[in-house]
Structure 1
C-alpha cells in the first residue's frame, strides 16, 4: 500500500524576479491541481526581512503532498501534465536550494487558535444533551427501535463520549471502552439497512437542533460529514461479509476534514 510523501522545494529568488516567479507558479499550479497524484500544495514566502544571510533575495518553500514518492516520480513526471509544469518553472531551477521527499510522522495536530468541533459544540454537556434527545427519538421510532431492543441505560452516555472524542474532546472513550475497533464490534450482526441508516442520520440532526448544537453552516457540515461517514461504515460492519478492521484508534474529525480511513 502506498503512503503519502511530502516534497519540499526551497527557492532563493532575487527580489527583482519574485513577481514573475509567483506568476509562473500560479500557472504551474493548474497542472498540480489536475494531477491525480497530487493531494495538495502550498507555496510560502519567508516573512523575515533581508540581512547578511539573505542579501536582497526572497526565500520560498513549495510544499507538495503526493500520494506516494513513486506516484510523483513515475506517475506525475511521466504524465502529459508534467511538460507544461516544467516549462513554467524551468527558469527557476537554478534557484533551488533543496528538493527532497519527506515521510509524514505521527506528530501532527492543530493548535488552540482553531477551536475543536467539540469545544464549538459546547463540550461534554452538549453531546450528552444530543445523545439523550437522540435515543429518546430512536426508542420511539418504528424503523430503528428494533435495532436497540434491550438498550443498556449507559449506552447514550457512551455514544456521547465517543462523539466527544471524535470531534476533538477528551479521550474518555479510548480510556474506558477502547478504540474504533471496539465501536465497530457493537454493530456486528445487526444487518442495518439503508432506510435505517438514513432514518438514523435524520433523527440525529433533529436531536442536534433539539439539544441546541450550533447551527452555523461550517459546524453542521462537518457534523453531518462524520454522521454520513460513520453510519455508512456501520452498515458495512453490520453485514454478513464484513471483515473486522485491525485495531485502530478513535477517528479524529475536524473542520472540513476526514480521517484517512484504511479498511
Structure 2
C-alpha cells in the first residue's frame, strides 16, 4: 500500500481572435460538462492571458496519459466534448502532456498548516498531552508499553513536517537524502496488530489533545488535521496487520489545506 501514482497534466495553448473569445468561452463552458463526467479527468481549468487576451491555456489533469489517449479519446465523453470545441482546433498552438516533478509547494500567501497551528511549540505540546492520555487509556496503553522517552518529541517532529514545517524528522530518520523517513515511521507499526477500536480511540484522543494543547479550532484547519489523522491511522492499521512489509522509501507525506482554504477575515 502506497501513495497514488502521479497524474499527468495536459496543457493546450490557444490563440483565439478577440472577436471570437466570447463564443470560445461559451463553447468550453458546454464542453466542460462531458469533460468533468469523464472518469479519466481529475480536474481542469481554462485561463486567459492578461497581457495578450487572445491567448488561452487549458489545463487538464488526467489519471494518466494512457487513460487520456486510450480511454477518454475512445469514449462518448470525448465525442460530446469534441463536438463543442471542434471549431477551435485550428486555433491550437501547442498541446502536450507534462509529468509532475518533486518541485512544488505553496507560497507565503497561503500559510502552512504548521504555521497556522503555531509551529514547533504547539506540536510538542500536542504530543505531550496526547501521550499522557494514551498511557492512561486502557485500550491504547498496551500498544505503547515501554514507550521510549523521546517518542513524543519524534512524533511532534513528524507531524510538524507533515503539516509543512521543517524537515527535522527526515533529517534524523530518513537516511542520507531523507527519502526513507516515511518507511521509518511506518515500520514502527509492523506486527503491532492494531485494531479498529484502537485506531478510533487514537483518533479521538488526539483530537481531545489538540483542544487542550490550543491548536486552532477553525473548521478549515481542523478538517485538514482530522483528514491526515484518519489517513495516517488507517495506514498504521494496514501496516500493523499480518503479512505487511516495510514499504519502499518515499518522502514524508505533505499535507495542506483541503477544499476549504484558511479563513482569514
Q: TM-score, normalised by structure 1?
A: 0.92
User: Could you tell me which residue of structure 1 aligns to residue 188 of structure 2?
Assistant: 186
Check if 1:36 corresponds to 2:39.
yes
User: Could you tell me which residue of structure 1 aligns to residue 238 of structure 2?
Assistant: 236
Against the structure 1 CA distance between its residues 228 and 214, is the aligned structure 2 distance closer, same or farther, given a 3 Å change threshold?
Answer: same
User: Could you tell me which residue of structure 2 aligns to residue 116 of structure 1?
Assistant: 112
The whole-number CA distance in structure 2 between the counterparts of 1:204 and 1:66 is: 36
User: Could you tell me which residue of structure 2 aligns to residue 7 of structure 1?
Assistant: 10
2:28 equivalent among 25, 30, 36: 25
Against the structure 1 CA distance between its residues 3 and 210, is the aligned structure 2 distance closer, same or farther, given a 3 Å change threshold?
Answer: closer
Once the two structures are superposed, the pairs formed by residues 179-258 of structure 1 within 5 Å of their partners are 179-256=181-258
The whole-number CA distance in structure 1 between the counterparts of 2:220 and 2:153 is: 25
Once the two structures are superposed, the pairs formed by residues 19-168 of structure 1 within 5 Å of their partners are 19-49=22-52, 58-168=54-164
The whole-number CA distance in structure 2 between the counterparts of 1:166 and 1:250 is: 6
Between stretches 2-11 and 62-71, larger displacement belongs to 2-11
Q: Matched residue of 2:57: which SS? A: strand
Structure 2 residue runs of 5 or longer lacking an equivalent are 175-180, 260-265
Between stretches 230-239 and 22-31, larger displacement belongs to 22-31
Q: Matched residue of 2:142: which SS? A: helix
> 2:43·2:61 contact (CA, 8 Å) conserved in 1?
yes
> 2:190·2:245 contact (CA, 8 Å) conserved in 1?
no
User: Could you tell me which residue of structure 2 aligns to residue 171 of structure 1?
Assistant: 167
The whole-number CA distance in structure 1 between the counterparts of 2:169 and 2:102 is: 21
Structure 1 residue runs of 5 or longer lacking an equivalent are 50-56, 258-263
Q: Matched residue of 1:137: which SS? A: helix
What's the Cα RMSD here? 1.4
The whole-number CA distance in structure 1 between the counterparts of 2:213 and 2:255 is: 20
Following TM superposition, the consecutive aligned residue runs of length 4 or more in structure 1 with deviations greater than 4 angstroms are none
User: Could you tell me which residue of structure 2 aligns to residue 54 of structure 1?
Assistant: none
Q: Matched residue of 1:73: which SS? A: helix
The whole-number CA distance in structure 2 between the counterparts of 1:78 and 1:129 is: 55
Q: Matched residue of 1:9: which SS? A: strand
The whole-number CA distance in structure 1 between the counterparts of 2:33 and 2:117 is: 37
1:9-68 superposed Cα distances (whole Å, 9 cap, x missing partner): 11111111111111111111111211111111111100115xxxxxxx611000111111
The whole-number CA distance in structure 2 between the counterparts of 1:22 and 1:243 is: 51
Shift of 1:3: 4.8
Shift of 1:159: 0.4
The whole-number CA distance in structure 1 between the counterparts of 2:7 and 2:137 is: 44
The whole-number CA distance in structure 2 between the counterparts of 1:251 and 1:2 is: 14
